[in-house]
Amino acid sequence: MSEPARHPCFLGLISGTSADGIDAALVRFHGDGPQARPELVHGQVLAWEPALRAQLVALGQHAQALTLDEVGLLDVRIGQAFAEAANTLIDAAGIAREQIMAIGSHGQTLRHRPHGDTPFTLQLGDAHVLAERTGVQVVADFRRRDVAAGGHGAPLVPAFHAAVLHDPGEDRAVLNLGGIANLTLLPAQGAVRGFDTGPANGLLDAWCLRHCGQPYDAGGAFAAGGTLDAALLARLLAEPWFAAPPPKSTGRDQFHLDWVEAALTGTEPPADVQATLLALTARSVAAALHATQPHTRRVIVCGGGVHNPLLLAALAEAMPGTVVESSAVHGLDPDFVEAMAFAWLAREHLAGRPGNLPAVTGAAGPRVLGARYPAG
């Protein structure tokens, strides 16, 4: 039997809170069980159509409301965009569709409300459209089962981190710097934990777009031109959410530009605000790690923020004595770890294995996550 036949592929798709593109990863797993070694066969990012991305960002910033008809149309349009991303990746990889067991699709989060009497989380991206346009079965809607079981429905990626990055010789943490920053705690011994720590690229990108007209702060250059405003940083860190204990999760609907502006005096130079937002990410991550796993020896970083050297330097400064390094050191492309995780979650679903970690999400117990949408 050929290698590809013995180790079929799974395709993971995700667009994070930054909505800066659809990450697509074709993954082959070597071995059996959740700890099978993942191999990234091919990965790429498909840019959103500009008008659609602008709408997604506006929705995340609470700057736009939708009618029910508009929600339905957006669900299909996102599904079409995800299908285009999958098809583009499959064509680029030159792999036969029969070798792809399933597509694991996260969709695009529009609202995440895990608190209150009626908690919910909402991701759009019609999985029927995705299955129809790709000819591959789809596993989607991963978060809502965990929420139904009393969990936050997030973060879900820690289960994948634990399967592939745990080391019995040292306390580790995996830090994903997407729109929101989140930590996975991987102690040498003991239970895996994971939670969101607060804003990361989401606020940095939004502030940069407003004042520089650029979708992100390339290399941290905008922040490097400013000076940290200690008083502003203190006001931002006074947000009660930061002091709340895990499990906890958040999103763009919590940390958006209106939230930032409520803390401004109106006299701050924009570059100083950018520098302060960068420090906010580093300080909130460091504080969360110190409070939950103070003897961490190594922080493995993935997500778009890994390309911001100023942010990585700020993290290292805020966590002296801790190695801060890219997931690339461990054989995982930092740009595609989350997409690979949703390929893994699709694999776990088809195997009938739980995809959540109750200690991370707060769910009542392990649950098989997602729903399957046949190819035909």
Q: What is the DSSP track for 342-354?
A: HHHHHHHHHTT--
Determine the Cα–Cα distance for residues 335 and 113; give it in Å rounded to an integer. Answer: 27
Two tokens, residue 232: 């502003």
Please report the pLDDT score of residue 293 as a whole number. Answer: 97
Two tokens, residue 254: 């919590």
Q: Is the pLDDT of residue 32 over 80?
A: yes
Q: Is the pLDDT of residue 3 over 60?
A: no
Confidence band for 63, pLDDT divided at 50, 70 and 90? low
Name residue, tokens 């922040």. 223
CA dist 69 to 86, 97, 108, 133, 202, Å? 26, 33, 18, 22, 28
Calculate the average pLDDT of the chain: 94
Please report the pLDDT score of residue 1 as a whole number. Answer: 34
As a whole number, mean pLDDT of residues 183-211 equals 95
Determine the Cα–Cα distance for residues 179 and 292; give it in Å rounded to an integer. Answer: 22
Domains identified in the chain and CATH numbers: 3-153+334-373 (3.30.420.40), 158-330 (3.30.420.40)
Query: What's the whole-model pTM score?
Result: 0.87
Q: Is the pLDDT of residue 5 over 60?
A: no
As a whole number, mean pLDDT of residues 54-73 equals 83
C-alpha R_g of the chain: 20
Instruction: List CB contacts of 114: < 8 A, sequence separation 6 or more.
Output: 120, 121, 147, 151, 152, 153, 154, 249
Quick: pLDDT tens for 314-341.
999 999 999 999 999 999 999 999 999 9
β-strand pairing of 298-302 with 172-177: parallel
Please report the pLDDT score of residue 174 as a whole number. Answer: 98
Name residue, tokens 């650029």. 214
Q: The sheet that has 323-326: what strands, in order across it?
A: 193-199, 180-186, 172-177, 298-302, 323-326
Quick: pLDDT tens for 225-237.
999 999 999 999 9
Show the DSSP H helices in the chain as ranges: 3-6, 50-60, 68-93, 127-134, 143-148, 158-165, 201-212, 221-224, 230-237, 240-243, 257-261, 270-292, 309-318, 337-350, 358-361
CA atoms in the 13 A half-sphere facing the CB of 263: 20
